[in-house]
Structure 1
Amino acid sequence: MDNTDNLFHPSLAAALMKLDPEDGEQIMEYFKTHALLTREKALLQASVREQKKLLVENAKLKKDIDQLKVQLQDKQRRRTAKALLSPPPPTLSPAPTTPVNQPSSPAGATASVPSSPPPPSSSSYDRRERQSRRRRGERKARPTSDSLSLEAEPRIDVSRLDLRVGRILSIRRHPLAETMSIQEVDVGENAPRMVVSKLGGKTHLEQLQGSLAVLLCNVKACKLRGVVSQARILCCSTPNDCIEPLAPPTGSAPGDRVTFLNYPGEPDRELQSKHRVWELLQPDLQVDCRGVANYKGCGFEVKGKGLCRAPSLTSCIIR
């Protein structure tokens, strides 16, 4: 017997057959099919809800794993630095050697001359002094060289920036600042990022909704007038405060990386404020006379799709 037969009481089937002997069986088949489809729909909805729940849990676990990796790397760096900066253990100076060839005293001289320890020779004293000076010199020189190697800055170029294409899903003015706005931007992740920018004063915000932009995604999240900003929209601006966001090439999609041909390399996981990477790179981020965004003459490129440009401005800075 089909499982759908359990959904209907036998008396219902008998009643239908009595009322309509010709079509009663077809009506029962219709009811059974409808009930089966309803059950399958409920199972499918439950499966979709479970899948969404698993996706959220996987994203949380991935974030926890990344945080644990960072903590482990920090502990390893501190342990290495402590081992390098600790002073070396002091070495024991050799005991003074007694002269082998001693003049033999004449017979009977022992009773008349009192015995006394021989004075330290000048050669052994000089040797100990040189060893002591050498040890002091090593203690001073080693920490200096180690500290220089630890404080050596990594490369400072545009490859350390995590630049991605994003789509502005919504935009509104900041309630506490007239010259600022709040955007929700899709950068190819599970959830959109909240971004606070200076696209407010002279910008027609309604024209930006749904458009593409270039975002700096590895900046540290910070609060701007009470709203947490999780990325930075790159804009070109002129001295008279004309501001417009950079436009990715046609065919770009949210999450596409913006790279530089002459500066390969992987970006930092998060830009540290103490290194001031963005501040050091910003003077070399410009829009040329053709409207192409570049770093030291090397264009902002989405591989296989083209270069990023300013919509209308030329010969201006990027910030």
Structure 2
Amino acid sequence: MASSIALRSSAILISHSSNIPSYIPSHLRSFRLWSPRYGVSHIKTLTLNLLCSCSSTPLTSTPASPSEEESGERALQAAVEALDIRVGRIQKVWRHPEADSLYVEEVDMGEPEPRTICSGLVNYIQQDHLQDKNVVVLANLKPRNMRGIKSNGMLMAASDVAHENVELLMPPEGSVPGERIWFGSDAEANSQPDAASPNQVQKKKIWETVQPHLKTTDNCVAVFKDRPMRTSAGLVTCSSLKNANIS
């Protein structure tokens, strides 16, 4: 028999009075308590208001109604569509002068000027393997100051559970810098809503909402839930990490 009891100070239940007069309402009960405030010898009978009815039947949570589940799915879909994920091409890369684990990249995003992005990839990818490489960039994050260099975006990568192996996501051959990446079918290419602003992404924690649902498949294809990440040229993949996290 389980019950929820509100007490002002901690106490241990010693016994429950079984001889309760019938005129006392069922929601009131008398208990004998040991209170550490007064010592072991102080036994006091209190009348307490039980906050829930007693039952031998285990309590179970009420499952979400279909409409609630559908609403959650729609919100999650809206969140991933609010991300501005684009094809980029690394034009120049060098070691960060003030941070041993960081590279600094200049990335062509199809914009008038290349973006400067800092990435913690020194321990995972050789510098010359980044030069002239096509990459996937999360482009609508707020710029961050990383040891004196402002980073304006994030290179997206797959990693194993232990985060010992990391591989950049790779747009397919023929992808054009600046092209927006989406999740779904070819037919959905032109139905993507406008991306959220960096302030909205931060305030609404959009990236934090979406990221746990980004994985790679057994074929190393990047997906959001079961929806593949793609450009107009095909599917986005990584080199070899299967069922990996994406961040």
TM-score range, shorter chain: 0.5 to 0.7
The letter of the residue matching 1:311 is S
Q: 1:311 to 1:155 in 2, by over 3 A?
A: closer
Matched, 1:316 2:244: yes
How far is the alpha carbon of 1:202 from its aligned partner?
A: 2.7
The letter of the residue matching 1:291 is C
Residue equivalent to 1:227: 149
How far is the alpha carbon of 1:313 from its aligned partner?
A: 1.5
Residue equivalent to 2:129: 207
Give matches, 1:3-18, under 5 Å: none
Give matches, 1:178-197, under 5 Å: 178-197=100-119
Find the aligned partners of 2:204 and 2:197 in 1 and give their Cα distance: 14
Aligned residue pair count: 166
The letter of the residue matching 1:201 is N
- Contact 2:85 2:139 (8 Å CA) reproduced: yes
Matched, 1:285 2:207: no
How far is the alpha carbon of 1:157 from its aligned partner?
A: 2.5
Higher helix share: 1
Matched, 1:252 2:164: no
Residue equivalent to 2:229: 300
Q: 1:154 to 1:201 in 2, by over 3 A?
A: closer
Larger RCO, structure (CA 8 Å, separation 6 or more):
2
Find the aligned partners of 1:174 and 1:168 in 2 and give their Cα distance: 15
How far is the alpha carbon of 1:274 from its aligned partner?
A: 2.1
Give matches, 1:1-319, under 5 Å: 156-238=78-160, 239-261=162-184, 264-272=192-200, 273-303=202-232, 305-319=233-247
The letter of the residue matching 1:177 is A
The letter of the residue matching 1:254 is P
How far is the alpha carbon of 1:227 from its aligned partner?
A: 0.9
Gaps of 5+ in 2: 1-74
How far is the alpha carbon of 1:213 from its aligned partner?
A: 0.2
Find the aligned partners of 1:253 and 1:156 in 2 and give their Cα distance: 25
Residue equivalent to 1:64: none
What are the superposed Cα offsets for residues 222-257 of structure 1, whole Å, 9 maximum, x if unpaired?
A: 101211001111011112421121000111111111
Q: Secondary structure at the match of 1:157?
A: helix
Find the aligned partners of 1:292 and 1:171 in 2 and give their Cα distance: 26
Q: Secondary structure at the match of 2:182?
A: coil
Q: Percent identity?
A: 34
Find the aligned partners of 2:76 and 2:173 in 1 and give their Cα distance: 34
Find the aligned partners of 2:225 and 2:143 in 1 and give their Cα distance: 27
How far is the alpha carbon of 1:190 from its aligned partner?
A: 0.4
Structure 1 vs Structure 2 CA RMSD: 1.8
Instruction: Please say which structure displays the higher CA radius of gyration.
Output: 1
The letter of the residue matching 1:276 is K
Higher strand share: 2
- Contact 2:172 2:234 (8 Å CA) reproduced: yes
Residue equivalent to 1:67: none
Q: Secondary structure at the match of 1:282?
A: helix
Q: 1:278 to 1:311 in 2, by over 3 A?
A: same
Gaps of 5+ in 1: 1-152
